[in-house]
Amino acid sequence: MVELFEQLKQKISGENKVIVFPEGEDSRIQGAVIRLAKEGLIKPILLGSEQGILSTAKANGYDLSDIEVIDPSNYDKKLLAQLNAALVERRKGKTDADTASKWLQDVNYFGTMLVYTGKADGMVSGATHPTGDTVRPALQIIKTAKGSSRISGAFIMQKGDQRFVFSDAAINIDVDAETMAEIAVQSAQTAKVFDIDPKVAMLSFSTKGSAKSPLVDKVSEATKLAKAMAPDLANQIDGELQFDAAFVASVGAAKAPESSVAGHANTFIFPSLEAGNIGYKIAQRMGGFEAIGPILQGLAKPVSDLSRGANEEDVYKVAIITAAQALA
């Protein structure tokens, strides 16, 4: 199997997707952006105070002469007024012009508006901001894609040539049957971006009625709803399944012999954020899988949340994923 990022790089190379980086003063961001631009993978825009951006570049010996830099506090007055009007209009009475002008001095809101108005194709932030501050502007302004009513967060788990999707491991704290079904459909789409032919397991502590509980009923209901939401994927989604029945061929054959997913699943939908977040970290820390994400699913345009522990290589990879999502 061709290495994941080589595959994605081939997809985005020369497509000139414009990705905005609100944390332009951060040396990890600058280092990654210079590499991405030099390799012709994306067209980056750095946001931040001009002075701050230049002083980071100087301290690291970076040459930013080919990179677009925007200082929101010094942005063209007419363009800023246009962003303000577009923001107020988008918020439909929930945000007035004064609040909008305060928001536009926040790099995450400013970057989100560049994406919303089409000046950028995607955004990568979160190297210095917590998840909520990175994601909230996207929820409020970009909003969900057609057919989605909420966003969710997936991780691509990778080791050697094994590649899996784990969802939701990042966003929705309470997951009801409807939400779980939507997460399953979104995750199948994410799997395709990463060249995984989705086989989606709706996970529980029960396989096909082996245990009785309202929690089990929720997952079996979510399975029905997901199949109805995406009839073209009906044979590629199944539940409720325990993890071993979903993952291990012999266990799947014994516990769910009729299932086309059991034993062969590659896209795992967890019944709560607790299960998903704990589950991916176990695979990462005990199983030795690389965890790539969270990849936000269901947004009308891609916005990616870095971990604050991210290094330059992580920024580079997340930007590649974001451009690939913009292309999809």
Give the whole-angstrom CA distance, residue 212 versus residue 205. 10
- Near ligand COA by CB under 6 A, which window of 51-59, 167-175, 247-255, 279-287? 167-175
Site string (108-147) toward ligand COA, x via CB under 6 A: -----------------------xx--xx--xx---x---
Locate 71 and state its tokens.
């200082």
- Does 80 participate in binding ligand COA (rule CB under 6 A)? no
Of 55 and 149, CB closest to ligand COA: 149
Query: C-beta of 37: minimal distance to ligand COA in Å?
Result: 28
One of 87, 171, 306, 324 touching ligand COA (CB under 6 A): 171
Of 30 and 131, CB closest to ligand COA: 131
**What is the distance, to the nearest Å, from the Cα of residue 65 to the centroid of all Cα atoms in its chain?**
30
Site string (172-201) toward ligand COA, x via CB under 6 A: xx----------------------------
If binding means CB under 6 A, how many residues of this protein chain bind ligand COA? 16
Of 49 and 284, CB closest to ligand COA: 284
Cβ atoms of residues 278 and 291 within 8 Å: no
Of 169 and 326, CB closest to ligand COA: 169
- Near ligand COA by CB under 6 A, which window of 32-40, 52-60, 116-124, 171-179? 171-179
Residue 267 phi, psi dihedral angles, 5° rounding: -130, 115
Query: C-beta of 299: minimal distance to ligand COA in Å?
Result: 8
Local structure of residue 144 (DSSP, 8 states): B
Q: Could you give the 3-state DSSP secondary structure of residue 133?
A: helix
**What is the distance, to the nearest Å, from the Cα of residue 61 to the centroid of all Cα atoms in its chain?**
31
The 3 state secondary structure assigned to 32-89 is HHHHHHHCCCCEEEEECCHHHHHHHHHHHCCCCCCCEEECHHHCCHHHHHHHHHHHHH
Those residues whose C-beta lies under 8 Å from the C-beta of residue 258, and which sit 6 or more positions away, are none
- Near ligand COA by CB under 6 A, which window of 80-88, 119-127, 164-172, 263-271? 164-172
Those residues whose C-beta lies under 8 Å from the C-beta of residue 271, and which sit 6 or more positions away, are 175, 180, 202, 203, 204, 215, 218, 219, 222
Give the whole-angstrom CA distance, residue 159 versus residue 289. 5
Of the CA atoms within 13 Å of residue 272, those in its CB half-sphere come to 9
Cβ atoms of residues 159 and 287 within 8 Å: yes
Of 87 and 241, CB closest to ligand COA: 87
Of 70 and 138, CB closest to ligand COA: 138
One of 142, 170, 310, 323 touching ligand COA (CB under 6 A): 170
Query: C-beta of 12: minimal distance to ligand COA in Å?
Result: 25
Q: Which amino acid is at 187?
A: S
- How far apart, in Å, are the Cα atoms of 65 and each of 88, 120, 125? 34, 19, 22
Query: C-beta of 309: minimal distance to ligand COA in Å?
Result: 12
The residues of the shown chain that bind ligand COA, judged by CB under 6 A, are 94, 131-132, 135-136, 139-140, 144, 150-151, 170-173, 277, 294
